[in-house]
């Protein structure tokens, strides 16, 4: 058995194990994916806040 076949066999075994684990934990993976997609959407298309930062407020209370 050459090194190439050994590496290919190991990768195939890891793929099968990952597939079996994914089938077992399908519902948990789906919840995690939904949560991550929601976070990504929130970061990309998040609503901008209308709050004035404290650094821009002068001592007399006026906003810059």
Residue pLDDT, tens place only, 35-64: 999 998 888 887 666 666 666 666 665 655
Cβ pair 10, 18 in contact under 8 A: no
27 — phi, psi (to 5°)?
-65, -40
19 — phi, psi (to 5°)?
-65, -45
Answer whether residue 5 shows pLDDT above 90: yes
Buried b (16+ CB within 10 A) or exposed e, 31-49: eeeeeeeeeeeeeeeeeee
Model's pTM, two decimal places? Answer: 0.49
63 vs 30, higher pLDDT: 30
Residue 21 is predicted with a pLDDT of 94
């Amino acid at each position: 058995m050459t090194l190439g076949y050994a590496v290919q066999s190991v990768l195939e075994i890891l793929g099968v194990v990952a597939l079996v684990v994914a089938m077992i934990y399908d519902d948990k993976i789906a919840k995690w994916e939904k949560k991550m997609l929601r976070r990504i959407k929130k970061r990309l298309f998040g609503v901008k806040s209308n709050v004035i930062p404290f650094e821009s407020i002068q001592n007399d209370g006026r906003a810059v």
